[in-house]
Amino acid sequence: MDFPGNRIPDHVKIIHMIAACGTGMGALACMLQDLGYQVTGSDHQVYPPMSDFLAEKGVTLSAGFSPSHLEPAPDLVIIGNAVTRDNVEARHVMAHQIPYCSMPQALNHFVARDKKIILVTGTHGKTTTSAIVAHLLQEAGLDPTFMIGGILKNFNSNYRLGNGAYIVIEGDEYDTAFFDKGPKFLHYPPHITIMNGIEFDHADIFRDIDHIKDVFKSLVNIIPSQGIVLANGMDLNLMDVLKNANCAIECFGEGDYHWSFAHHAASHGASVGKNQTDIHIRRQGGGELDVHSPLMGRHNAMNTIAAVAALMHLGVPGSIVASSMATFKGVKRRQEIRGIKQGITVMDDFAHHPTAVKETIAALKPFYDNGNVIAVFEPRTNSSMRDIFQRDYALAFDHADLICIREPSRLDKVPENERLSTKKLVNDIRERGKDAFYFKDTESILLFLTDRSREGDLVLIMSNGGFDNIHQRFLELL
């Protein structure tokens, strides 16, 4: 439902952002400041590095929420999706009829309105695929704009304002704001849409897989007939979503698809920048391309072929795409090597969904077969702390040699009768013949890792949160 004040006025100079320190909101604040708007922001927790970053950009930040942050009234208020209708600033906005909008509305209006949107969606791989597309566009001289949910190492940023015709947006299926329960990606009319696949996730807002499929069908319905979808042809849920689409669809995958590929690991030693995946891409109707990616695993080969297909649709020659892929540095928190000490590699990865956990471990195992792969996992998302994935998580660690499961630190957010049992999970993994261990806290994991890890091992730490800075602390202990 639209509230009367949910609009963007014709003349905007001063913008206030409620919950400005989130990854997306912070990036948008910087973009708007760079575009010449006067931006202020507030958040319940204002701390480095985001607070320092925004301050350097000239964004005025206030700690906590107060109606005084909206006096005198700004021309527009952007309300983040972490904000509830009970927030004191949100209530003040409504009561005083100050124009307001959501983050996706603002991004589309102020940044994307004169550009062609390359929209990257799906349950998995959005950030990495978006990052590859942005990097390839930049290397091809197309000067892209982008807004992505991770820090691109090639740019040391999760956003960029370019002068080129294209903008890359990571399209999130999560809801937009308390006044707009539709998914964020419906605000971005796409030129090219990448769909990496669909699985059940976000159990806090979606009932089941059919609910998620309905949301993606809504996206397909807004794609113009001249648009194109590049889709994971191996995903049955996605094929169901696309069966009544009115636009062109080209599928990618292993097998007989419009874009098909074969890949293999090409390890040159377990050290930074020495691993790669060799991918052979064949385009239906003619054309073959060999790409060497620094990313490991089949899932990243899928991400890569989706990005390559998008670039070639824009007319970028395959030779430029291939040479540019070799210089892609990756995304922070995606297979990010945090350090190597005493021959032990410590890697950080954002994997939290059971499929992502399974694919990530399977991708890395061939590169670290001289030692053990030690998987350290913290269930932290609204979905991963629920029992809906109890059985799936037990099947996700088969490629690991040693498994450490931490008790979630935020279980109070989940009703008691819906919680994941980490002790049961550990027992179920053990029943599959694996060495799995339960830990109440991060400190006990650190003691365990110090005792059990050896030269040649990979310690893979998976969480969508900070995990008590376990990566750096373990490296210091080593």
Whether residue 470 has pLDDT greater than 50: yes
Tell me where in the chain the CATH 3.40.1190.10 domain(s) lie: 114-325
What does the alpha-carbon distance between residue 374 and residue 400 come to, in Å, rounded to a whole number? 6
CATH superfamily of 14-103: NAD(P)-binding Rossmann-like Domain (3.40.50.720)
Token duo for residue 406: 């931490």
Class of domain 114-325: alpha beta
| Architecture of the 336-477 domain | Alpha-Beta Complex (3.90)
Of the chain, the percentage scoring pLDDT greater than 70 comes to 96
Q: Mean per-residue pLDDT for 252-280?
A: 72
Would strands 373-377 and 402-406 be described as parallel, antiparallel, or unpaired? parallel
What does the alpha-carbon distance between residue 383 and residue 352 come to, in Å, rounded to a whole number? 9
Token duo for residue 130: 């978006």
Global confidence as pTM: 0.84
* pLDDT band at residue 272 under the 50/70/90 scheme: very low
Token duo for residue 241: 């979503």
**401 conformational bin, left if phi > 0, alpha if psi -120 to 50, beta if neither:** alpha
What does the alpha-carbon distance between residue 219 and residue 292 come to, in Å, rounded to a whole number? 32
Mean pLDDT of the chain: 90
pLDDT digits (tens, 9 = 90+) for 23-79: 889 999 999 999 999 999 999 887 767 778 888 889 999 999 999 999 999 999 999
pLDDT digits (tens, 9 = 90+) for 135-177: 999 999 999 999 998 889 899 899 999 999 999 999 988 889 9
Q: Mean per-residue pLDDT for 339-358?
A: 90
Q: Mean per-residue pLDDT for 259-268?
A: 71
What does the alpha-carbon distance between residue 238 and residue 216 come to, in Å, rounded to a whole number? 8
Q: Mean per-residue pLDDT for 264-281?
A: 62
Q: Mean per-residue pLDDT for 405-414?
A: 82
What is the chain's alpha carbon radius of gyration, rounded to the nearest angstrom? 22
pLDDT digits (tens, 9 = 90+) for 388-400: 888 989 999 999 9
Whether residue 358 has pLDDT greater than 70: yes
Q: Mean per-residue pLDDT for 348-364?
A: 88
Of the chain, the percentage scoring pLDDT greater than 90 comes to 65
DSSP, collapsed to helix, strand or coil, labels residue 28 as helix
